[in-house]
Amino acid sequence: MQGTTVRGVGLVLAVASALTGVAACTSPDSSDGPGKDDDRAAHGRSLAALRSAERATQRAGSARVESTTTMGALMSMTADGTLGWGDAITGTLTITYTGGTLADTMRRLGSTSMEARYLPDAYYARMGEKFAEQAGGKHWIRYAYEDLEAVAGGSGAHLGDQMRTTTPNQSVKLLLASGDVRKAGEESVRGRPATHYSGTVAAADVTDAALKKQLIEAGVTTETVDIWIDERNLLVKKVEKARMSTGLMTQTAHYGDYGVPVRAQRPPRSDTGDFEDLMRKKAGTP
């Protein structure tokens, strides 16, 4: 495998990892339109419930995450592990590629599953033995968040921001930015009662400057998100869809065990290669 393949796999892994918990971007489907809002009081109650959920989820500090993501023919993947948040994101996830061209590439590298560790300064991905043979013997790739800006200008910066905000309350924030957020009903999520909320976010209408900047830099015009909140005001499920250049992206995530202990140990420096170094290497360079 040539150096270009090593770099290409590394870049796609960074993108895929950012998608394990962040919101997706899509054009609104006409069937999802909220219609005329004749009940301002109901709308106000929905916003109040979401603000309570945002606060409760933020205070919880950590959770177990299970998600499935599909990006057209490029890949399908699952993620399972724990994430903590506060001053910075920390956590460990097991990511398994179950289909698509990326899974085929990973299979040729000897493994379709990898361990991902989030630390305050960087994200780390552990690759298989065949990958290490082509990466100077290093099993881990380190992605410094600021280095991702070199990927594609503003889009790279957005990717770094996404990886820093891979937390449940981010989805609640996005839904709060929606002008058409509404209560969709009372449902059961894994045997527990939950309230379903849905909405579409238009980037042009977002008042949060930082969030609006992220959306615009990523080329987002609108974004849809559905979330389920339990009786403790905690997010327990989200479903998102996106139309991307690689095809339709869909993601379902479940959250539980809020307050669970989270550990993420930094991999040995001797066994870690920097993503920035992989990007700099020329094709064919060991």
Domain extents in the chain: 41-283
Handedness of CA 248, 126, 66, 259 (dihedral sign): negative
In this prediction, residue 97 carries a pLDDT of 86
**Percent with pLDDT over 70 in the chain:** 68
Distance CA 67, CA 254 (A): 6
Ramachandran sector of residue 219 (left: φ over 0; alpha: ψ -120 to 50; beta: rest): left
117, 265 in Cβ contact below 8 A?
Answer: yes
- Reported as type and span, the H/E element at residue 212 is helix 209-217
Burial 227-261 (b: 16+ CB within 10 A, else e): bbbbeebbbbbbbbbbeeebeebbbebbbbebeee
* Alpha carbon of residue 116 to chain centroid: 13
Q: Tell me the β-bridge partners of 124.
A: 117, 142
Predicted TM-score (pTM) of this structure: 0.78
pLDDT tops 50 at residue 1: no
pLDDT tens per residue across span 216-269? 665 556 678 899 999 999 999 998 776 655 557 778 999 999 999 998 999 999
CATH of domain 41-283: 2.50.20.20
Nearest alpha-carbon partner for 253 in 65, 64, 75, 93 = 65
Distance CA 33, CA 37 (A): 11
**Percent with pLDDT over 90 in the chain:** 25
pLDDT tens per residue across span 23-70? 333 333 333 344 444 567 888 888 999 999 999 999 999 999 998 888
